[in-house]
């Protein structure tokens, strides 16, 4: 069997081997496994390997980085108290090379098994069941428990590991697919993870503008004024549209991409490797165009979703959807012909269950091509000759479902050597119970009795560039007005393009009115046409950032969300903008803000760029019961990297399947 590539995910065999090695290091102990995935080798070692690989000098005897797994687990003592461990296991040498007991000030990421415990604890809690009886559900309704992270803890919470749950009711007469979110109940049970007991029931206020933020106002029959809101096709009152004709993506000669070595993708001069891990989802490695290195690593580093309802306990409501529990067990197993269209290649992932056994998760990443309109076009008006090409993209996609919300993440590569990182939000807005006839400044009533709270989604993309090598410099470029000057700007039409080298690690705001962009350049290599350093341009989306007061716990635990763009010096395993430990955190520790505070020299160094952008979501009625996608895009484009348009050689072939129509709805489709 060929040795795995250093930039390939752990196999099920390697994952199980790491489990066995960890178990052997704790004889007789009860272990609870949380995650296990590739511990990426030091970058310096990988670069030496890649140099051999891309020069054609790699042989079976060439040195390879150690193959290691990082394993996250609890060791549970006789008193049922647990200690959280993180171990690095060399699966080739079959030994533990690093092991750490994590301080109690940090919480391990949650697992779906713990969420199951929350549900069971609610079912057996007399305190909770008594509160349910006070609500007096309508006939035919049943209770639905939806576990949530506890969020931003209050001072008196200490370091206790708490979970909470939102509570809804479902009309069981309509079956298991009926939308229970339409019937939110004003009860939030809180569970102590150590005792697995419900310790209290928070009862949030259900009033609105002008009412107390803390007083209980609901009474028996709290969901009687709520209204059904179905979205499953067979439950829609009027069914689905009948006038929509099929639109098929047909590739009669197959795709233009190829897959070798399990995860090596080649398409239209692009070459890259893709892996999946339960913390970041799809990660793209060693990205090259026409043989030239562009990026060493590209990933979704973090995201946070803070809610803006000031009423206790909603002030705690803030999720870190990547850091709190990882997204491994929330990732969708994608379906052919639904989530991706055309000729599809799926990649599987490896997850672990509570005893550390590897579980294959099918179809967690899909790869496909798509048409995105015109790529480039010009018509010579003198001759009437038009040349036009289509903009074809290679798309690497994964989707996660986190309770009510879905997120669709796409990495798009085009034929002009551009990269787009796209985040789409959809799913069901988080709603809470609202008294009849009330409105509130912290949300919008999207259905009778259901208030959708104002909130934000703040994402961070980590970009590890290698622009023709790993010694790169980030340049801030702005376009600024110039005053008239008799000598240099006599007619006032000139503007200044001002470039500022970023010399120390820092966070920077976007400035759309200055057209502020960031160019990652290799100062050691000049473009032979322009004479400027070769580079790639990053255009950070100039969106609103975190709105919570800087002194709030929400803001302190998401410091990455205070700047649009960060530049830091590379450090092995510094991957997460919000820090490694976000669950129940009180402040951001070890995140990008701490990395920037080192004030490292980043001039002509191995640098990392972090792009932060967000969606401020003040819900609309049109977001109910399932919201249309909201989309954000980050663009990474060549800037003096080439000597001309790299897509100039894309064929301008006609689509022979296209045809005219008179608009008659009865015309036959094309014969394929």
CB-CB contact of 46 with 38 (8 Å): no
Q: What Å distances lie between residue 295 and 215, 299, 468, 527, 606, CA to CA? A: 54, 11, 9, 18, 11
CATH 1.10.10.60 fits 10-99, yes or no: no
Tell me which residue of 416, 193, 401, 153 sits closest to 290, measured CA to CA. Answer: 416
- The reported pLDDT for the residue numbered 218 is 85
Determine the average pLDDT of the residues in 346-352: 97
Name the residues annotated as catalytic: 321, 405
Measured from the Cβ of residue 281, the count of other Cβ atoms closer than 10 Å reads 25
Quote the pLDDT of residue 664.
Answer: 64
pLDDT in tens, 107-139: 999 999 999 999 999 999 999 999 999 999 999
pLDDT at 217: 82
pLDDT in tens, 433-442: 999 999 999 9
In the chain, % of residues over pLDDT 90: 93
pLDDT above 70 as % of the chain:
98
Return the axis-axis angle of helices 112-124 and 126-135, rounded to nearest 10°.
70
Query: What is the end-to-end Cα distance of the chain in Å, rounded?
Result: 43
Decide: helix, strand or coil at residue 45.
helix
* Cα–Cα dist 549/152, whole Å: 14
Does residue 365 contact residue 274 with C-beta atoms inside 8 Å?
yes
Confidence of residue 80 (pLDDT cuts 50, 70, 90): low
pLDDT value for 1? 63
Among all chains, which residue has been given the structure tokens 């979970």?
163
Residue 605 has pLDDT above 90, yes or no: yes
pTM of the model: 0.96
| pLDDT class of 327 with cuts at 50, 70, 90 | confident
Look at residue 672 and tell me whether its pLDDT is greater than 60. Answer: no
| Sequence-ordered strand ranges (E) for 307-337 | 318-319
Tell me if 257 sits within 8 A of 249, measured CB to CB: no
Element (H, E) at 412: strand 405-414
> How does the average pLDDT of the chain come out, rounded?
96
**Each residue's pLDDT tens digit, 33-53:** 999 999 999 999 999 999 999
pLDDT given at position 476: 98
Specify the pLDDT at position 35.
Answer: 96
Tokens representing 557 are 């635990």
pLDDT single digits (tens) 187-197: 999 999 999 99
Query: What is the chain's Cα-based Rg?
Result: 27
Each residue's pLDDT tens digit, 5-27 = 999 999 999 999 999 999 999 99
Given a cut of 70, is residue 424 above it in pLDDT?
Answer: yes
> What's the mean pLDDT in 447-473?
98
Lowest mean pLDDT among 216-225, 405-414, 420-429, 479-488: 216-225
The pLDDT value recorded for residue 663 is: 74
Q: Quick check: 666 pLDDT over 90?
A: no
314, 202, 195, 149 alpha-carbon torsion, rounded to 10° = -20
Calculate mean pLDDT across residues 323-338. 89
């Amino acid at each position: 069997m060929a040795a795995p590539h250093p930039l390939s995910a752990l196999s099920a065999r390697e994952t199980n081997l790491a489990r066995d090695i960890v178990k052997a290091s704790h004889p007789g102990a009860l272990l609870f496994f949380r995650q296990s995935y590739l511990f990426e080798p030091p970058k310096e070692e990988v670069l030496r390997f890649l140099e051999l690989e891309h020069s054609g000098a790699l042989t079976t005897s060439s040195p390879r980085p150690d193959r290691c797994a990082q394993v996250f687990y609890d060791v549970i003592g006789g008193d049922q108290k647990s200690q959280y461990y993180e171990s690095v296991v060399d699966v080739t040498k079959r030994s533990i090379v690093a092991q750490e007991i994590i301080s109690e000030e940090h919480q391990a990421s949650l697992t779906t098994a713990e969420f199951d415990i929350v549900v069971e604890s609610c079912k057996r809690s007399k305190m909770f069941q008594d509160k349910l009886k006070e609500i007096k559900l309508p006939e035919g309704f049943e209770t639905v428990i939806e576990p949530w992270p506890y969020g931003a803890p209050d001072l008196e919470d200490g370091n206790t590991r708490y979970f909470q749950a939102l509570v809804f009711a479902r009309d069981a007469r309509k079956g298991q697919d009926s939308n229970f979110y339409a019937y939110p109940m004003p009860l939030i049970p809180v569970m102590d993870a150590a005792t697995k007991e419900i310790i209290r029931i928070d009862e949030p206020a259900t009033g609105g503008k002008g009412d107390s933020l803390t007083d209980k106002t609901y009474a028996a029959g709290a969901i009687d004024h709520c209204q059904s809101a179905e979205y499953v096709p067979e439950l829609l009152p009027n069914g689905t549209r009948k006038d929509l004709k099929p639109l098929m993506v047909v590739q009669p000669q197959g795709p233009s991409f190829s897959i070798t070595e399990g995860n090596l993708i080649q398409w239209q001069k692009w070459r890259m490797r893709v892996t999946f891990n339960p913390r970041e989802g799809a990660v793209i490695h060693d990205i090259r165009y026409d043989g030239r290195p562009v990026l060493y690593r590209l990933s979704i580093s973090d995201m946070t979703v803070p809610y803006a309802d000031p009423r206790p306990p909603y002030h705690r409501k803030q999720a870190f959807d990547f850091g709190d529990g990882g997204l491994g067990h929330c990732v969708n197993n994608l379906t052919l012909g639904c989530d991706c269209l055309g000729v599809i290649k799926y990649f599987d992932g490896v997850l672990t269950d509570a005893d550390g056994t590897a579980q294959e998760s099918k179809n967690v990443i899909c790869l496909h091509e798509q048409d995105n309109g015109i790529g480039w076009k010009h018509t010579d008006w003198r001759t009437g000759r038009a040349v036009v090409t289509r903009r074809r993209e290679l798309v690497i996609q994964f989707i996660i479902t986190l309770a009510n919300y879905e997120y669709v993440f796409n990495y798009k590569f085009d034929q002009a050597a551009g990269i787009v990182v796209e985040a789409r939000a959809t799913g069901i807005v988080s709603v809470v119970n609202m008294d009849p006839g009330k409105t509130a400044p912290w949300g919008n009533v999207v259905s009778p009795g259901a208030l959708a709270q104002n909130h934000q989604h703040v994402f961070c993309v980590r970009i590890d560039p290698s622009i023709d090598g790993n010694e790169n410099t980030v340049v801030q470029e702005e376009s600024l007005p110039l005053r008239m000057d008799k000598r240099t700007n006599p007619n006032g039409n000139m503007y200044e393009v001002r470039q500022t080298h970023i010399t120390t690690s820092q966070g920077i705001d976007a400035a759309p009115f200055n057209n502020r962009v960031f160019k990652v350049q290799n100062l050691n290599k000049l473009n032979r046409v322009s004479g400027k350093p070769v580079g790639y341009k990053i255009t950070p989306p100039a969106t609103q950032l975190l709105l919570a007061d800087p002194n709030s716990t929400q803001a302190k635990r998401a410091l990455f969300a205070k700047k649009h763009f960060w530049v830091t010096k590379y450090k092995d395993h510094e991957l997460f903008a919000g820090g490694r430990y976000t669950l129940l955190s009180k402040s951001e520790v070890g995140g990008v803000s701490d990395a920037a505070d080192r004030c490292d020299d980043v001039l002509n160094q191995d640098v990392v760029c972090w792009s932060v952008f967000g969606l401020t979501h003040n819900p609309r009625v049109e977001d109910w019961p399932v919201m249309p996608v909201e989309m954000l895009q980050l663009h990474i484009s060549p800037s003096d990297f080439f000597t001309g348009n790299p897509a100039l050689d894309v064929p301008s072939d006609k689509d022979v399947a296209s045809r005219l129509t008179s608009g008659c709805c009865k015309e036959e489709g094309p014969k394929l």
